A and B are shown apart, each in its own frame.
Chain A
Amino acid sequence: MNKIKVSIAGGSGYTGGELLRLLLFHPNIEVAQVTSEANVGKFVYKIHPNLRKSTQLKFSSINELEKCDLLFLCLPHGSSMNRIDEFKNIAERIIDLSGDFRLKDKEEFKKWYHHEHSNPEMLNDFVYGIPELHREEMKNAKLISSAGCNATTSILALYPLYKEGIIEEDRTVIEVKVGSSEGGNKFSESSHHPERSGSVRSYMPVQHRHTAEIIQELSLGKKIEVHFSATSIDMVRGILATCHVFTKQPLEEKDLWKLYRKYYNDEPFIRIVKENEGIYRYPEPKLLIGTNYCDIGFKKDEFSNRFVIIASIDNLMKGAAGQALQAFNLMYGFNETTGLEFPGFHPI
């Protein structure tokens, strides 16, 4: 069988590098080109040293992109929407890992991104990139917009509860603790090691853009409110989302076990993690490094109608590159787990 010829536009960042790592070892993929304007002509392993001896590819300019079957866009936010017509001439299928085409409503886009969308008529052409919610649409999709990492964690944690309508729709509070790789590979004063090391930084207590995706995907025809905060901690990869929800009727933990089992038992990358003993009783980001899993646990507050839902992923994997490859597998009818089987390290 001929391999699927893919290229990456914007391959020098962490997401592009992680995606390339996965693509190079996928049995049905041939990586044709990887672009980076700042690194044209350089071996990609000069930027992604973990890929030494895995590839002799060199970075191309985005203007040198040749026709391929599928193009992954790992460009900075705002770039994809301006050049999408050009990219569509290069590849019949596109998976965009930026935030440009995640939202369906141009007014919502403007509200959260603080500028107009340059291609609003295309917002509804993209399938939102969480396979667990949009698997059937992905199978026939030409355009997929990968979900935000914090949004992915939060949506997967809460989807069964919103879908069943068993929680108060306006009281959900989500606090995510995130690693520094979420900030990309551009450095700043705040990322300077003496400042960053050991810090617990409330970098987005309100108005994080991913809130809009969470509302979009969990609304399901109702008006909901989600109260989202993000805190950056001393970790390179990983997200831990702690979600506080309030049930409309009294529920027991067994009820949530049944609910999450109903939605996720057959999902290859979702695991319910809730144990009464042992060291890792709830989802733990460090165990997920390099994996495509989303671990979800929960605990009932015996003194109220609150449940705490805890979810974790690797932001560069299930929150970006892994999720995109899972979508790719669905688009081409490959086994959904191909190239994503890595189970993680322990200890790490």
Chain B
Amino acid sequence: MKAECPVCAATIELLKDAVEGELLECPDCGTELEVISLDPAILAEAPKEEEDWGQ
């Protein structure tokens, strides 16, 4: 099952047992991605953890 990285357009092979919500890193651009759909296989940038600087 193949999906496209939404950041760099690299083709990424998903594991057979991939599940929605799974996180992975794009091997080309290193962006952390989330599997948001399996059929069709769609990836999105994973939400980044916001840091609270106390402001």
- A: which residues have CB within 8 A of B? 253-254, 257-258, 261, 272, 274-278
Contact = CB atoms under 8 A, between A and B. Distances in A.
A257 B6 CA distance: 11
Contact of A272 (B7, B28, B31): B28
A257 B8 contact: yes
Contacts of A274: 8, 29
A276 B31 CA distance: 7
B7 to A, nearest CB: 7
Contact of A254 (B8, B30, B48): B8
14 contacts: A253-B7, A253-B8, A254-B7, A254-B8, A257-B9, A257-B10, A257-B29, A272-B28, A272-B29, A275-B31, A276-B29, A276-B30, A277-B30, A277-B48
Given A257-B10, A275-B29, A277-B30, 6 more contacts: A257-B8, A261-B10, A272-B28, A272-B29, A276-B31, A277-B32
Contacts of B28: 257, 261, 272
Interface in B6-55: 7-10, 28-32, 48
A282 B27 CA distance: 16
Contact of B30 (A253, A258, A278): A278
Contacts of A278: 30
Could you tell me the dominant secondary structure of chain B's interface residues? loop
Contacts of B32: 277
Instruction: Kindly list the 7 A-B residue pairs having the minimum CB-CB distance in the complex, ordered from nearest.
Output: A257-B8, A254-B9, A275-B30, A257-B9, A258-B9, A276-B31, A274-B29
Contacts of B30: 275-278
A127 B17 CA distance: 51
A276 B48 CA distance: 11
Contacts of A272: 28-29
A272 B7 CA distance: 14
B8 to A, nearest CB: 4
A274 B7 CA distance: 11
A254 B7 CA distance: 6
A287 to B, nearest CB: 15
Contacts of A254: 7-9
A253 B8 CA distance: 7
Nearest to B45: A276
B45 to A, nearest CB: 8
Nearest to A252: B9
B27 to A, nearest CB: 11
A31 B7 CA distance: 48
A257 B28 CA distance: 9
A270 to B, nearest CB: 13
A182 to B, nearest CB: 31
A195 B7 CA distance: 45
B47 to A, nearest CB: 13
Contacts of B9: 254, 257-258
A257 B30 CA distance: 13
B3 to A, nearest CB: 14
Contacts of B31: 275-276
A258 B7 CA distance: 11
B14 to A, nearest CB: 19
B10 A276 contact: no
Contacts of A277: 30, 32, 48
A163 B38 CA distance: 38
A321 B30 CA distance: 31
Contacts of B10: 257, 261
Nearest to A256: B8
